[in-house]
Structure 1
């Protein structure tokens, strides 16, 4: 196995991200950071995702190879759907997984069958969805590592691989199991789902779908069958949960850093937005965005709009179309007259926005977010205060963790149905932005962890060292990975 120092002893890492913007982008960022350490990377995606998401700098082009994988036609999957953002309904997610399993498993097998040489990887680094990859890699003597784009607290809550697969004493067999802290957590915590969140995640997360398995099963097999687990986190941020994962998985669990994207995105079409930000007072603006996955309803968008209006704070809203609107109107989902009333105090931006660039602007001081892990890392890396409105997946767990650590405020909601009112949005925003300076102090401290490129790169180097040492150890029958 190669030395992690780069040069002639460099490794070749093949990456298999899931087909979602929030997965492809951080895998790409990590690929670039691995390449900067002198290692070669092969990154698999689809043609449309490659065109719209993956940008490899010219100086890394010789080290990062992007392979386009064409998806097969699958019944019920819309034409041209190559990422979760392309499907109009969550009910269609299983069919994207069917296409992914078919195309990417076939491509992986072809690469693994190449004779020893530059084209054959030393490691396969997988996302949760590629649960078939560890077995395929093992057949060719190639080790596999699981990369979690979820934080350690969320993964720790989900439990050992067997529980994710619906087996063993910690398996969640009923909805209520998701609303309590697991007994194996050795410290007090509020990291658990609320009732309305548990209802929304139980079936899609733990019940087999039309792809043949549940999402939880994919996680469980991917973790169980991989030799190493990398977590997008840092020991400085959640050391207690990283220790829990080590006990649960009984294999090396390595924080790979947060690797937020640099605020160097192109701003073509958004010059006016930056000029508007330039006119605002330092740290006064709330940036509002809810990710690429959540499909907000008209009622939710109306409430968010009225809450931003009622807060009295300047805001910039990265507005996405309605999940339940068929009119195609630009103002659909907004209260009548909303943009006229907020006028110069608030700006609504439609379509794609350069989020990392906007969060890094000196006038942005708060972030109204869905609490997705990508957005959390981007916000904290830039030292902005967080107001949390979790909507799906791990977001409720992330939100509890941040509130527990006194880093953000969660919008008050009805425990049973998840409803919230404009006053709840406005109150949370004002508390974070105006009333409690402690949040500003906390996020400034954390920005030195999340936004520290050298610290993030050091985590990547440590991860690569572990990959290299595992390869050296596995080549000797008497060697052990336990000392990594």
Structure 2
């Protein structure tokens, strides 16, 4: 290793919510002079290329995703299939183990960053390199759900949330292993843990994980993502430009979350009740092939262009930074929250399950930067008035709740966008990573 520079391979879970944070940390490390080999499904590479700000140091290594019975031909990532088929995407990823081992050996890397491919640490031991479990979810969630001493207190959750956690914990996720088991093995066998987090916000949780797993925990700093090299598409840009600053609601639930048809309609009808312009970027509801078929009858006509409903992928971070966007209704994926916190939009939290519920409680109860949509205690169902009331409460400039949420969000935003803080963290992360690798070679 020359002049404290190293060659890092990255192999994140085949989901855009994981691939995108990995390209952001790749950019940060490349800026410090490190070389990155980014393993990515062949036909998904083009989605990440606009985010590669250091093509001289970050190289994409295409991976052919093996076909697994039950998956549509050509399916590569979770965005290509309904959530019920995500375990089969995981199975397909697991089948790349031998190919990945040969690639890593040929690339002569120093360390591999991974998350759900729990077999990576054993591959790394065979080729005598180190592994880092770079987790894209919050260290709070990892400490709460995946740590060895985890004792989940269901009294803090609604009944439907407790059932959801239990169901997810017992669900097989790729082969004969559950998601919880898979994550725990990866955390336990890796040589170090790493998070896109800061000591100021997540310090106690990273300390806890260090003592629980008995290994280094590296923090790459505040949750700030780089903008892509592209610009916002003309149709969305011109539509957003029509409205006053802070007046548009943006609603998006990530590349994986699909609502039931009934909840999809309640959400859109709730947005209509606000009488504010809105842009909703959502997957087709469960069991439906077309998003157009799910839109409530007469809604678009009543809106007269004031509401847009998109069924495809959008440039979320560019939308969030547009001056007309004042409110973000989010499913509380950690990546989406990271993008939201560095912008000025108000947060309305509508978690769909799993770690999103914990993320929502962190944002609403710990940081106080958003309002969670109320749901039924037993069934977890929300109605249009629940959506309407959460949006109106958070957007009320004169109301006590709206003011408090705005003030707390602004304080956290100022910390997150502080370039000196970000620079100091990535310097520290780079040095700690190199020290960690050098100590391994000395051993």
**Which TM-score applies when normalising by structure 1?**
0.85
Greater helix content: 2
Shift of 1:345: 3.4
The aligned runs of 1:58-457 (5 Å cut-off) are 60-88=54-82, 90-103=83-96, 105-114=97-106, 119-127=107-115, 129-160=116-147, 162=148, 170=150, 177=152, 179-180=154-155, 193-209=157-173, 211-257=175-221, 258-262=223-227, 264-268=229-233, 271-326=234-289, 328=290, 331-404=292-365, 405-434=367-396, 435=399, 436-457=402-423
Sort the Cα spacing of 1:356 and 1:60 in 2 relative to 1 into closer, same or farther, 3 A.
same
Q: Which runs of 5+ in 1 are unaligned?
A: 5-9, 164-169, 172-176, 181-191, 478-484
The aligned runs of 1:8-19 (5 Å cut-off) are 10-19=5-14
- The number of residue pairs the alignment matches comes to 437
Mapped partners of 2:299, 2:381: distance in 1: 21
Determine helix, strand or coil for the equivalent of 2:304.
helix
Shift of 1:193: 4.2
Contact kept? 1:402, 1:408, Cα under 8 Å: yes
Sort the Cα spacing of 1:146 and 1:210 in 2 relative to 1 into closer, same or farther, 3 A.
closer
Mapped partners of 1:82, 1:178: distance in 2: 36
Mapped partners of 1:424, 1:76: distance in 2: 38
Residue in structure 2 matching 1:29, options 3, 6, 24: 24
Shift of 1:142: 0.6
Determine helix, strand or coil for the equivalent of 1:238.
helix
Shift of 1:359: 0.5
Sort the Cα spacing of 1:263 and 1:125 in 2 relative to 1 into closer, same or farther, 3 A.
closer
Contact kept? 2:16, 2:77, Cα under 8 Å: yes
Shift of 1:440: 1.4
Runs of 4+ that moved beyond 6 A: none
Mapped partners of 1:254, 1:159: distance in 2: 17
Shift of 1:3: 4.3
Tell me which moved more, 372-381 or 150-159: 150-159
- 1:292-323 C-alpha deviation (Å, 9 max, x unpaired): 11111111111101111112223222233222
Mapped partners of 2:338, 2:173: distance in 1: 31
- 1:410-455 C-alpha deviation (Å, 9 max, x unpaired): 0011121101111110110011111321211222222223334553
Contact kept? 2:51, 2:228, Cα under 8 Å: no
Mapped partners of 2:409, 2:265: distance in 1: 29
Sort the Cα spacing of 1:130 and 1:453 in 2 relative to 1 into closer, same or farther, 3 A.
farther
Contact kept? 2:51, 2:227, Cα under 8 Å: no
Q: Which runs of 5+ in 2 are unaligned?
A: none
Sort the Cα spacing of 1:111 and 1:30 in 2 relative to 1 into closer, same or farther, 3 A.
same
Sort the Cα spacing of 1:80 and 1:385 in 2 relative to 1 into closer, same or farther, 3 A.
same
- 1:256-275 C-alpha deviation (Å, 9 max, x unpaired): 1323131653333xx23322
Mapped partners of 1:408, 1:19: distance in 2: 29
Residue 480 of structure 1 corresponds to none
Tell me which moved more, 362-371 or 434-443: 434-443
Q: How large is the RMSD of aligned CA atoms in angstroms?
A: 2.1
